[in-house]
């Protein structure tokens, strides 16, 4: 009670003072207001949902660019005005590297490399604008009930969520802040995939060193450049910085409201494709629909086109040269691009594809090779020896929207080297390190034409080099008219078959009849065909008109079993072609020093070319090896008759085994050239040949090859059996056992490699699954334990052990005897391990 009284007394003493202070403050404020008369305009009140008035977001300081979206730059922030009319519209978002640090990706990633390509749509949800990724892998017509099931079972992932900051004056567009989206490390649009992050030990994006470089809006697309710096423990270059810096370009382009009419793919004609699963099919299962990828070419004058006249397209395909392209090479690049005008004329179009120099800054200050409106032949300052022809396409229809041809600076050196090695025996102008400019230019022209072919939709056609007879390639008249393969899309770079004394030979590849045929098949407009299905009868007819003619056959790349579809091979008989090729290589090897080191007074080119010569020799051997256990693939429909798969005749397989023994497994003494070897390295000579010979030996002794040989027993009465192949291989590799002769160093290495490979076939298994779609796989997988393989290998090793025991006591060469004893011990160890 006493405490309560004291508290009340304290309040009575303090309150009057506080009241007095408050009154005095109010008087001072009134006096100040009377004297100053400050007028503050009322601020617009944000709406309860947090959306601000337009003028508060897009202030007078905004730098605005009008286009697909209006973009606003305000200090260091960027805003988009997303029109409501563009919500739910399909757009293609393409991520590319615009500038790249040295060494990123090991030389096969460059400025212009595409890192991702995805369809996106903008959607509104309450007070947000969502950017979603949309897929056309699964489809159904909107009029069908099942389309709802397709939708709910293919929910679109949200790439990013943007808060609506404001609406424009007439409320037809939402304003969003895109600054964080374009300055954050978003994996789906990043230039560093997971493997690079692991390889370079990337920790995180450094926000203080990352920013939006520019935003440009055009009528159909928006281009955003981002500068990113990542903290990395093992960067590919400039290691002391602990950083990886690169510039990305994000292209967002509005796709056509009406997709291009697709053309249905036929595997008998080679095309890159897009795939869809159509759940609206009347069949008892979903249909797999495959469409070819091609540019949208439509005739300006459809009536004249229908009459068979050549007509210009409404929109031609235009390629610009990179501003960094050396002047002396520009004409060859343009020629390579416009070489495709003739095949397009076969399809009814004139001036369908055009090459242009890049516009000057005065002509077009906003020109950028990364801008998705432009297709560009990118010239890359890189030591990589390669060229590529990627493209960007609409997954709804296969329409190619844009493409960039990538040319790496050092690629011509590869062509100079191959020209010297493969044609130098028969072609005097190739016997130099200073290849004539016109010939180098012709090579570049054909490489560009090849890469443009990819960008037009064509994959490699490895059957084109099998279309001409090997002996035809020695004819000047034939090669000048037909080239060395039926298509520029094969890997048939040079005529290595022609021999010294052959006259007027064409040594460099060129466009061929298949290129005209495939362009017509894919690009010719078929009048009165209003649906993809209504075109099929005409497309089939065009194929059947060429049925049986090897010049118009398509052969897949990567077919490890088909001798008629091989890379770097020419001529329809690999044995004849490789025989001529090796004969030429022997001539080149004899003269290699005089063509290189004796001219330059150093050994660098000699070393480089000798290493590549070994690779060329190995390829020629590999072409013949493919005959062994080989199967020809002839893609066809039942109406064409015959079989899709035909086993290489047994006689050809036996001849191929004998050829390999004589040209690869017998010591190639012509390659052991003292004048070369002792001038390029101090040691390691025997290892070079061991690795090359072992590669071909292991290639023959592969599980899938043995499996195909075993398969042949079930289908053919005349077949080269797995047992026959293994016996022939053993008898050839160990021929010294019959004569008790000395075994040289190279043969000893090869024989030990044989035992090692047989050991692995006793203990290991092949890949579990076959790759690719049914009927088109490259590698056969089967249950090895329950097949004949182990029994055949065990039997061959027992036969070999018996012969080694007999031969070791007959030889008088000590090292040979030690070698035989070691081989016996190795075989015994294999059997012991298998108990």
- Under a CB-based contact definition with an 8 Å cutoff, are residues 561 and 630 in contact? yes
Question: Within this chain, do residues 683 and 740 fall inside the same structural domain, yes or no?
Answer: yes
Question: Within this chain, do residues 73 and 196 fall inside the same structural domain, yes or no?
Answer: yes
- Of the candidates 453, 585, 411, 429, the one whose C-alpha atom is nearest the C-alpha of residue 508 is 429
- Of the candidates 592, 674, 662, 654, the one whose C-alpha atom is nearest the C-alpha of residue 620 is 662
The per-residue pLDDT for 285 is 67
Question: Within this chain, do residues 743 and 834 fall inside the same structural domain, yes or no?
Answer: yes
The answer for 88, left when phi > 0, alpha when psi is -120 to 50, beta otherwise, is left
Q: Tell me the per-residue pLDDT of 259-286, one tens digit each, with 9 for 90 and over.
A: 999 999 999 999 999 998 877 777 656 7
- Under a CB-based contact definition with an 8 Å cutoff, are residues 390 and 454 in contact? yes
- Under a CB-based contact definition with an 8 Å cutoff, are residues 821 and 751 in contact? no
The per-residue pLDDT for 279 is 72
User: What total number of domains does the chain contain?
Assistant: 3
**Which residues, other chains included, contact 117 with Cβ-Cβ below 8 Å and sequence gap of 6+?**
92, 93, 94, 95, 392
In 10 A of CB 686, how many CB atoms?
Answer: 14
> How is residue 511 written in tokens?
């466009």
The per-residue pLDDT for 8 is 46
Residue with tokens 């070994």: 614
Q: What band does 33 get if pLDDT is binned at 50, 70 and 90?
A: very low
Q: What band does 150 get if pLDDT is binned at 50, 70 and 90?
A: low
Q: Is residue 631 in some structural domain?
A: no
Q: DSSP for 430-489, please give it.
A: GSSSS--HHHHHHHHHHHHHHHHHHHHT----TTGGGSS-TGGGG-HHHHHHH-SSS-TT
Q: Is residue 774 in some structural domain?
A: yes
Q: What band does 287 get if pLDDT is binned at 50, 70 and 90?
A: confident
The per-residue pLDDT for 778 is 60
pLDDT of 2 higher than 50: no
pLDDT-wise least confident of 23-32, 343-352, 631-640, 709-718? 23-32
Report d(CA 620, CA 632) in Å as an integer.
Answer: 19
pLDDT of 6 higher than 60: no
Radius of gyration of the chain (CA): 35
Question: Within this chain, do residues 75 and 114 fall inside the same structural domain, yes or no?
Answer: yes
Q: Tell me the per-residue pLDDT of 427-460, one tens digit each, with 9 for 90 and over.
A: 999 999 999 999 999 999 999 999 999 999 999 9
Q: DSSP for 730-793, please give it.
A: HHHHTTHHHHT----HHHHHHHHHHHHHHHHHHH----SS--SSTT--SS----STTSSHHHHH
pLDDT of 36 higher than 80: no
Q: Could you say which of 187, 221, 254 is where a domain stops?
A: 254
Question: Within this chain, do residues 6 and 100 fall inside the same structural domain, yes or no?
Answer: no
- Residue range 484-490: mean pLDDT, rounded: 97
pLDDT of 23 higher than 50: no
Q: Is residue 165 in some structural domain?
A: yes
- Residue range 526-534: mean pLDDT, rounded: 93
The per-residue pLDDT for 780 is 79
pLDDT of 19 higher than 50: no
> How is residue 748 written in tokens?
């000893």
Q: Tell me the per-residue pLDDT of 216-243, one tens digit each, with 9 for 90 and over.
A: 999 999 999 999 999 999 999 999 999 9
What are phi and psi for residue 410, nearest 5 degrees? -80, 5
pLDDT of 3 higher than 70: no
Question: Within this chain, do residues 24 and 151 fall inside the same structural domain, yes or no?
Answer: no
Q: Which residues pair with 646 in a beta bridge?
A: 632
Report d(CA 683, CA 689) in Å as an integer.
Answer: 13
| % of the chain exceeding 90 in pLDDT | 74
Residue with tokens 């008219």: 481
- Residue range 724-736: mean pLDDT, rounded: 97
The CA distances from residue 343 to 396, 523, 566, in Å, are: 26, 10, 24
Task: Find the Cα–Cα–Cα–Cα dihedral 793, 798, 799, 800, rounded to 10°.
Answer: 90
Report d(CA 666, CA 668) in Å as an integer.
Answer: 6
- Under a CB-based contact definition with an 8 Å cutoff, are residues 112 and 370 in contact? yes
- Of the candidates 392, 413, 411, 414, the one whose C-alpha atom is nearest the C-alpha of residue 403 is 392
HEC letters along 392-439: EECCCCCEEEEEEEEEECCHHHHHHHHHHHHHCCCCHHHCCCCCCHHH
Residue with tokens 């006493």: 2
Q: What band does 47 get if pLDDT is binned at 50, 70 and 90?
A: low
Question: Within this chain, do residues 108 and 210 fall inside the same structural domain, yes or no?
Answer: yes
Q: What band does 370 get if pLDDT is binned at 50, 70 and 90?
A: confident
pLDDT of 16 higher than 60: no
Q: Could you say which of 211, 234, 254 is where a domain stops?
A: 254
Q: Tell me the per-residue pLDDT of 82-138, one tens digit each, with 9 for 90 and over.
A: 999 999 999 999 999 988 898 888 877 888 788 999 999 999 999 999 999 998 877
In sign, the C-alpha dihedral spanning 49, 50, 56, 59 is negative
The per-residue pLDDT for 137 is 79
Burial class (CB in 10 A: 0-12, 13-18, 19+), 49: exposed
Q: Is residue 135 in some structural domain?
A: yes
The per-residue pLDDT for 43 is 54
Q: Is residue 260 in some structural domain?
A: no
Question: Within this chain, do residues 201 and 108 fall inside the same structural domain, yes or no?
Answer: yes
Residue with tokens 């300006």: 300
Give the strand pairing for 221-232 and 243-254: antiparallel
Q: What band does 14 get if pLDDT is binned at 50, 70 and 90?
A: very low
- Residue range 490-514: mean pLDDT, rounded: 97
Q: Is residue 350 in some structural domain?
A: no
Question: Within this chain, do residues 195 and 173 fall inside the same structural domain, yes or no?
Answer: yes
The per-residue pLDDT for 38 is 46
Q: Is residue 825 in some structural domain?
A: yes
Report d(CA 338, CA 351) in Å as an integer.
Answer: 9
Tell me the pLDDT of the chain averaged across its residues: 90
Q: Tell me the per-residue pLDDT of 305-353, one tens digit each, with 9 for 90 and over.
A: 999 999 999 999 999 999 989 999 999 999 999 999 999 999 999 999 9
Question: Within this chain, do residues 781 and 708 fall inside the same structural domain, yes or no?
Answer: yes
The per-residue pLDDT for 156 is 87
Residue ranges making up the domain that contains 35: 1-40
Question: Within this chain, do residues 36 and 148 fall inside the same structural domain, yes or no?
Answer: no
Question: Within this chain, do residues 682 and 751 fall inside the same structural domain, yes or no?
Answer: yes
Q: Tell me the per-residue pLDDT of 52-79, one tens digit each, with 9 for 90 and over.
A: 999 999 999 999 999 999 999 999 999 9
Q: Is residue 375 in some structural domain?
A: no
Report d(CA 529, CA 540) in Å as an integer.
Answer: 14
- Residue range 137-142: mean pLDDT, rounded: 72
The per-residue pLDDT for 46 is 57
pLDDT of 34 higher than 60: no
**Which residues, other chains included, contact 397 with Cβ-Cβ below 8 Å and sequence gap of 6+?**
259, 260, 261, 262, 274, 291
Q: Could you say which of 214, 230, 254 is where a domain stops?
A: 254
Report d(CA 530, CA 667) in Å as an integer.
Answer: 64
- Under a CB-based contact definition with an 8 Å cutoff, are residues 628 and 722 in contact? no
- Residue range 454-481: mean pLDDT, rounded: 97
Between CA 750 and CA 760, with CA 754 as vertex, the angle to 5 degrees is 140
Q: What band does 13 get if pLDDT is binned at 50, 70 and 90?
A: very low
């Amino acid at each position: 009670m006493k405490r309560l009284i004291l508290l009340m007394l304290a309040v009575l003493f303090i309150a009057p003072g506080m009241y007095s202070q408050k009154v005095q403050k109010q008087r001072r404020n009134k006096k100040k207001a009377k004297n100053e008369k400050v007028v503050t305009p009322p601020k617009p009140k944000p709406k309860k949902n947090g959306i601000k008035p337009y003028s508060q977001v897009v202030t007078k300081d905004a730098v605005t660019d009008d286009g697909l979206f209006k973009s606003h730059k305000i200090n260091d922030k960027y805003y988009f005005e997303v029109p409501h009319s563009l919500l739910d519209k399909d757009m293609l978002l393409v991520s590319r590297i615009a500038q790249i640090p040295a060494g990123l990706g090991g030389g096969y990633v460059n400025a212009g490399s595409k890192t991702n390509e995805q369809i996106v749509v903008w959607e509104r949800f309450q007070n947000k604008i969502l950017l979603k990724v949309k897929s056309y892998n699964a489809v159904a017509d909107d009029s069908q009930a099942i389309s709802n099931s397709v939708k709910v079972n293919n929910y679109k992932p949200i790439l990013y969520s943007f808060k609506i900051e404001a609406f424009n004056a007439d409320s037809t567009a939402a304003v969003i802040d895109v600054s964080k989206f374009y300055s954050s490390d978003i994996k789906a649009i990043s230039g560093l995939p997971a493997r690079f992050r692991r390889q370079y030990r990337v920790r995180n994006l450094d926000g203080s060193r990352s920013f939006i470089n520019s935003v440009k809006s055009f009528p159909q697309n928006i281009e955003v450049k981002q500068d990113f710096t990542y903290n990395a423990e093992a960067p590919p270059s400039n290691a002391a910085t602990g950083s990886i810096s690169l510039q990305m370009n994000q292209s967002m382009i509005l796709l056509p409201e009406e997709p291009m009419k697709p053309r249905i793919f036929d595997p008998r004609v080679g095309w890159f494709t897009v795939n869809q699963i159509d759940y609206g099919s009347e069949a008892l299962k979903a249909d797999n629909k495959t469409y070819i990828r091609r540019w949208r070419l439509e005739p300006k004058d459809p009536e004249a086109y229908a009459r068979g006249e050549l007509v210009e397209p409404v929109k031609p395909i235009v390629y610009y040269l990179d501003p960094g392209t050396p002047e002396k090479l520009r004409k060859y690049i343009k020629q390579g691009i416009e070489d495709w005008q003739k095949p397009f004329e076969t399809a009814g179009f004139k001036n369908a594809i055009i090459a242009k120099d890049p516009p000057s800054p005065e002509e077009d200050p906003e020109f950028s090779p990364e801008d998705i409106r432009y297709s560009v032949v990118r010239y890359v300052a890189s030591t990589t020896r390669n060229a590529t022809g990627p493209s960007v396409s609409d997954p709804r229809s296969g329409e190619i929207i844009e493409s960039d041809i990538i040319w790496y600076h050092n690629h011509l050196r590869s062509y100079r080297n191959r020209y010297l090695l493969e044609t130098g025996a028969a072609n005097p102008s190739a016997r130099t390190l200073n290849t004539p400019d016109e010939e180098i230019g012709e090579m570049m022209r054909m490489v560009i034409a090849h890469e443009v072919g990819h960008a037009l939709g064509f994959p490699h056609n490895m059957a084109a080099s099998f279309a001409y007879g090997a002996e035809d390639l020695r004819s000047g008249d034939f090669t000048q008219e037909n080239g060395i393969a039926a298509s520029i899309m094969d890997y048939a770079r040079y005529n290595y078959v022609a021999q010294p004394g052959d006259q007027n030979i064409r040594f460099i590849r060129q466009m061929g009849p298949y290129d005209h045929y495939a362009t017509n098949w894919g690009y010719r407009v078929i009048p009165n065909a209003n649906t993809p299905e209504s075109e099929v009868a005409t497309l089939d007819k065009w194929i059947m008109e060429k049925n049986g003619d090897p010049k118009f056959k398509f052969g897949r790349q990567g077919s490890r079993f088909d001798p008629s579809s091989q890379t770097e091979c020419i001529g329809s008989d690999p044995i004849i072609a490789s025989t001529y090729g090796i004969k030429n290589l022997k001539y080149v090897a004899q003269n290699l020093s005089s063509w290189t080191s004796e001219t330059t007074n150093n050994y660098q080119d000699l070393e480089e070319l000798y290493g590549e010569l070994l690779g060329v020799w190995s390829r020629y051997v590999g072409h013949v090896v493919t005959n062994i256990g080989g199967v020809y693939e002839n893609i066809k429909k039942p109406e064409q008759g015959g079989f899709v798969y035909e086993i290489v005749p047994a006689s050809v397989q036996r001849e191929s085994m004998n050829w390999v023994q004589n040209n690869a497994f017998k010591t190639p003494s012509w390659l052991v050239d003292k004048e070369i070897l002792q001038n390029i390295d101090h040691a390691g000579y025997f290892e070079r040949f061991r690795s090359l010979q072992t590669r071909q030996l292991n290639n023959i002794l592969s599980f899938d090859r043995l499996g195909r040989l075993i398969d042949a027993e079930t289908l053919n009465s005349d077949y080269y059996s797995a047992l026959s192949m293994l016996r022939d291989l053993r008898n050839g590799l160990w021929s010294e056992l019959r004569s008790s002769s000395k075994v040289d160093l190279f043969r000893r290495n090869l024989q030990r490699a044989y035992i090692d490979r047989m050991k692995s076939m006793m203990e290991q298994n092949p890949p579990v699954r076959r790759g690719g779609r049914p009927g088109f796989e490259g590698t056969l997988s089967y249950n090895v334990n329950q097949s004949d393989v182990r029994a055949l290998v065990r039997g061959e090793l027992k036969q070999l052990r018996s012969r080694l025991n007999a031969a070791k006591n007959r030889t008088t060469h000590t090292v040979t005897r030690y070698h035989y004893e070691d081989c016996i011990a190795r075989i015994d160890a294999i059997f012991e391990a298998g108990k």
